[in-house]
Each structure stands twice: as structure tokens, then as C-alpha cells.
């Protein structure tokens, strides 16, 4: 079932119920008005009869009730009207009382066995027919005028009104249903246009959807789709960039390993073979390091942030502990100082990866027996983490360029992929951390300074 059909079948019962309720209310209102009008006519009839019969009733005594003959409504009479008029006359009757005795009655009036009615309106059933009776007592005369009317007359009129209401409604229902269907289809045309826009696109087309003349109800949906496609486009772009980057950067290590394997196959001298084996192991380690750095860079770009309050001192201590064996073998002097309650709002994995890369760079570029100092200190509404080493440092004119991918300091004699500080810059950008490079207080080496907002521990 289409959306148009679902909406139609949900709206139609509501319309039908509304029409029925309106019809019922109209019927009830018409019934009440007819009752009031007919009751008013009975009052007028009673007063008119009194005026007409007043002289006759006051002057005469009636031992036997005088019967007033019906008007002849047959077609042979010149005053004849029609069958409806005749039926109307038969539906009315009157009685007049004088001194508690019947004085004058119509030919179809209730017999004397039916007692006199009290003043006002009353309902009475006679000969299996219901009548509406109005009794008018005349003050200080002992005369009472009663007029009666068959209730069926009223019901017939109400039935005719109901029929007059029902017939237009029966015609109106299909017309309203048809108009409702047209309105629903026209209202959903924008959704169908949106579907056509999406279906007509190629897999590579992730441009934003047009929102011109779009109804306000659909704007949030279209904007959400556009945001989703922008995120998807960014993600796919990063993946393509990573694939191109990996293919380009791994080509050189692969070619070097292949060349060393070919040379190893042709080598005849044992010393030469041993040297080639060492070169092969070193080349493989460089390739593995490059792959690890590329994977770290991809994870930094794609990993969703899970921000939480993190103890900065504990993260730095864990990073130094993981490289403790390397630091001990190379005779480094390591110092971790500062506040142990420093708390920052960050992603734990990304913050750890950032500090790991900085510590790795400090170890890689520092000589054996060097010194690495990590300090954590408050700086107003921020926490300041400083890592100092005694390596060659970075010239001031290259300190911006080292954050670019695959950029390496020209004077460096260490192996590297040129991705460490690029990863640091990417993580810092995502976590809102300021990164600065300078020279330690002892005059040489590299100082890396991180500034990050403090949060309540």
C-alpha cells in the first residue's frame, strides 16, 4: 500500500465520522425546532378556537356535546385541496369543556371517557396513536379549550428533513473523498520529486539535494539527507585519500625489500648475506612503521569522538611506562612532574595516541643517554602539558611545515615516515588542543607544548 493510500484510508473515516456527526446534530436541531414550532401552533390554535367559540360557549348550555363536522376535502368539492391537506385535517382535533362537561368537539376528538387534561402540554396515546395535547383553561369561566395533534405528523416532517439532509450528504461523501485523494496526491508530489532526485543519481554523485520550493515539513528531512551525504562524501574522500596515500608510500618500501631479496638471492659471500639480512630486517621495520602510522592517521580521521573527563597525568604516565624498556636500554633520564589531578575533556584513545607520538618522536630523535622531561601545570582555565627532549630540535622556519604529512626536517638523519607530527596535528584539531613548538630552557632540543581546556575532575 502506497503512502497516498495509507493517508487516504486514515483521513476518510475521519471525514465520514465528521459528516455523520454534522448530520446527526442537524437532525437533532431540526427535531427540536419542529417540536417548538408545532407546540407554538397548538397554543395559537387553542387561542383562535376560543376567540371563535367564545360567544357560542358562553351563551349556551350543552347537555350533549355539539360536534363540529369536518371540512370536505374530497376532489368534488370546490374547496378541495389534496390528500395531504385531508390527512393534515385528520391529524388535528379539539374539545371544549364547560363546567367539567364536554361542550363542543371535532368529529375526530377524544371521547368523553378520556378525562379533561390539565393546563399546558401533555402526550396521550389513543387508538394506538400518539397525540400531543395542549389544554387552555379560560380564567373565571370554567371553560377549557383542548387542541390535539398527531405526533406522527411531526415525525413525518422530521423524516422528510432527514431525507433532505441525507441525500446531499450521500452525494457529498464521494465528492469529498475524490477531492481528498487529489489533495493528498498533490501534497505528496514533493516527496515523489525527492525520490526521483535520489534515484537519478550515480553512485559517485553525493551533491546536496535541491530544497527550492520544498514544503517546510520536508525541509528537516532534506537537510538531514544533505548532512548525511556530506558526511558520507567526506568519509569516502578520506578513504580514497588513504588508499592513494598508502599505495604511493608503500611502493618505495616494497621496491626496496624486493631489491634486497633479489640481491640476497645472488649473494655468494656470507658476510654480504648477513649485511643484506640486516638491511632487509631494517627495511621491513620501516615498512611496518609506515603502515602503523598510516593506520593511525586513518583512525584519527574516521574514529567518532567519545569525549569524557580524563586524568591527563595518568595518560602521560601510561605512555611513558609502555616505552620503559626502550628508555632503560638506551639510558634515558625520564622525568614526569606536575599536577596529578589534571582533568581534561577528550577522547581517551586519541589523546593517548597524541602523547604516544610525541614521546616516540622524543625518543627517536634524542641521543642515547638523553633526557626527556614531561611536565603538567595549570594555565588559567587550561592545562599545559610540556614534553622536552635533548634531540636536534626543529629549526624555527620549519616548525609549521613539520605538521604536514610526510614532511621531514631536512637535517634529520633518523628514519621516519614524516607522519608523527601530522597525526598529532590532526588529533589536536579534533580535540580542540593548541600545539606549539619551541626550544627547552636548557637551550637546545625540542619542546612540544599542549594547551587544553580544564574540566572539573
Confirm if 431 and 345 have CB atoms less than 8 A apart: no
Q: Which residues pair with 98 in a beta bridge?
A: 101, 143
pLDDT value, residue 76: 47
Per-residue pLDDT, 434:
92
Cell 569524557 found at? 308
DSSP 417: -
- State the first-to-last Cα distance of the chain, in angstroms, to the nearest integer: 56
For 125, residues 6+ apart whose C-beta sits below 8 A from its C-beta are 131
Beta bridge partners of 385: 376, 450
Give mean pLDDT in consecutive 10-residue pieces for the chain, a chain of 457 residues.
73 80 81 88 91 86 80 46 56 88 88 90 91 91 91 82 77 80 77 78 77 76 82 72 56 68 79 80 69 64 79 92 86 92 88 86 88 92 92 84 62 53 83 91 91 81
**Which backbone phi and psi does 447 adopt, to 5 degrees?**
-115, 125
Q: How far apart are CA 53 and CA 202, in angstroms?
A: 98
- pTM to 2 decimal places: 0.45
Residue 301: predicted pLDDT: 63
User: Closest Cα partner for 17 from 173, 218, 154, 137?
Assistant: 173
pLDDT at 75: 43
Q: Sign of the CA dihedral 132, 136, 137, 142?
A: negative
Q: Grid coordinates in use for 223?
A: 537537510
pLDDT of residue 451: 93
Instruction: State the pLDDT at residue 70.
Output: 64
- Give the separation between CA 413 and CA 384, rounded to whole angstroms: 30
Q: Which three cell numbers stand for residue 111?
A: 371521547
The candidate with the shortest Cα–Cα distance to 149, out of 94, 102, 97, 96, is 94
Q: For residue 430, what pLDDT is reported? A: 85
Q: Are strands 434-438 and 371-379 parallel, antiparallel or unpaired?
A: unpaired
- Is 342 within 8 Å of 453 (Cβ atoms)? no
275 burial level (CB within 10 Å; 0-12, 13-18, 19+): middle
Length of the chain: 457
Give the integer Cα–Cα distance in Å for 288 and 282: 10
- Listed in sequence order, the DSSP H helices in 270-347 are 270-302, 312-322, 324-329
Distance CA 164, CA 170 (A): 11
- Give residue 86's pLDDT: 53
Q: Identify whether the C-beta of residue 149 lies closer than 8 Å to the C-beta of residue 18.
A: no
Q: What angle do CA 129, 52, 50 make, to 5 degrees?
A: 60
Cα–Cα dist 10/184, whole Å:
11
Candidates 50, 226, 235; CA nearest to 144 is: 50
Amino acid at each position: 500500500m502506497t503512502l497516498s493510500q495509507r493517508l487516504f484510508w486514515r483521513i476518510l473515516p475521519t471525514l465520514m465520522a465528521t459528516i455523520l456527526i454534522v448530520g446527526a446534530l442537524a437532525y437533532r436541531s431540526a427535531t427540536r425546532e419542529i417540536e417548538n414550532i408545532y407546540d407554538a401552533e397548538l397554543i395559537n390554535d387553542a387561542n383562535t378556537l376560543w376567540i371563535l367559540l367564545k360567544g357560542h360557549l358562553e351563551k349556551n348550555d350543552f347537555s350533549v356535546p355539539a360536534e363540529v363536522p369536518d371540512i370536505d376535502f374530497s376532489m368534488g368539492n370546490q374547496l378541495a385541496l389534496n390528500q395531504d391537506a385531508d390527512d393534515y385535517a385528520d391529524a388535528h382535533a379539539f374539545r371544549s369543556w364547560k363546567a367539567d362537561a364536554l361542550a363542543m368537539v371535532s368529529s375526530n376528538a377524544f371521547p368523553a371517557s378520556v378525562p379533561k387534561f390539565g393546563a399546558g402540554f401533555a402526550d396521550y396515546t389513543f387508538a394506538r396513536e400518539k397525540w400531543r395535547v395542549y389544554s387552555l383553561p379560560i380564567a373565571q369561566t370554567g371553560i377549557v379549550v383542548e387542541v390535539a395533534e398527531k405526533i406522527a405528523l411531526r415525525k413525518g416532517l422530521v423524516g422528510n428533513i432527514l431525507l433532505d439532509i441525507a441525500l446531499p450528504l450521500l452525494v457529498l461523501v464521494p465528492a469529498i473523498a475524490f477531492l481528498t485523494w487529489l489533495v493528498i496526491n498533490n501534497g505528496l508530489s514533493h516527496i515523489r520529486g525527492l525520490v526521483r532526485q535520489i534515484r537519478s543519481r550515480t553512485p559517485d554523485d553525493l551533491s546536496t539535494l535541491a530544497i527550492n520550493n520544498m514544503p517546510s515539513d520536508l525541509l528537516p528531512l532534506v537537510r538531514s539527507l544533505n548532512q548525511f551525504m556530506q558526511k558520507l562524501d567526506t568519509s569516502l574522500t578520506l578513504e580514497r585519500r588513504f588508499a592513494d596515500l598508502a599505495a604511493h608510500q608503500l611502493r618505495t618500501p616494497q621496491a626496496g625489500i624486493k631489491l634486497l631479496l633479489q640481491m640476497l638471492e645472488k649473494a655468494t659471500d656470507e658476510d654480504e648475506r648477513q649485511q643484506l639480512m640486516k638491511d632487509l630486517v631494517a627495511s621491513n621495520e620501516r615498512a611496518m612503521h609506515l603502515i602503523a602510522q598510516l593506520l593511525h592517521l586513518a583512525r584519527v580521521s574516521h574514529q567518532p569522538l567519545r569525549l569524557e573527563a580524563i586524568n591527563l597525568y595518568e595518560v602521560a604516565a601510561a605512555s611513558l611506562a609502555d616505552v620503559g624498556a626502550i628508555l632503560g636500554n638506551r639510558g634515558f633520564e625520564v622525568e614526569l612532574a606536575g599536577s596529578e589531578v589534571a582533568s581534561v575533556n577528550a577522547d581517551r584513545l586519541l589523546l593517548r595516541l597524541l602523547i604516544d607520538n610525541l614521546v616516540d618522536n622524543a625518543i627517536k630523535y634524542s641521543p642515547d643517554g638523553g633526557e626527556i622531561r614531561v611536565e603538567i601545570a595549570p594555565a588559567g582555565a587550561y592545562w599545559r602539558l610540556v614534553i622536552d627532549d635533548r634531540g636536534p630540535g626543529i629549526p624555527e622556519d620549519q616548525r609549521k611545515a613539520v605538521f604536514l604529512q610526510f614532511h621531514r626536517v631536512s637535517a634529520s638523519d633518523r628514519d621516519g615516515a614524516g607522519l608523527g607530527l601530522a597525526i598529532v596535528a590532526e588529533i589536536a584539531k579534533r580535540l580542540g588542543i593548541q600545539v606549539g613548538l619551541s626550544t627547552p630552557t636548557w637551550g637546545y632540543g625540542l619542546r612540544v607544548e599542549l594547551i587544553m581546556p580544564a574540566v572539573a575532575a
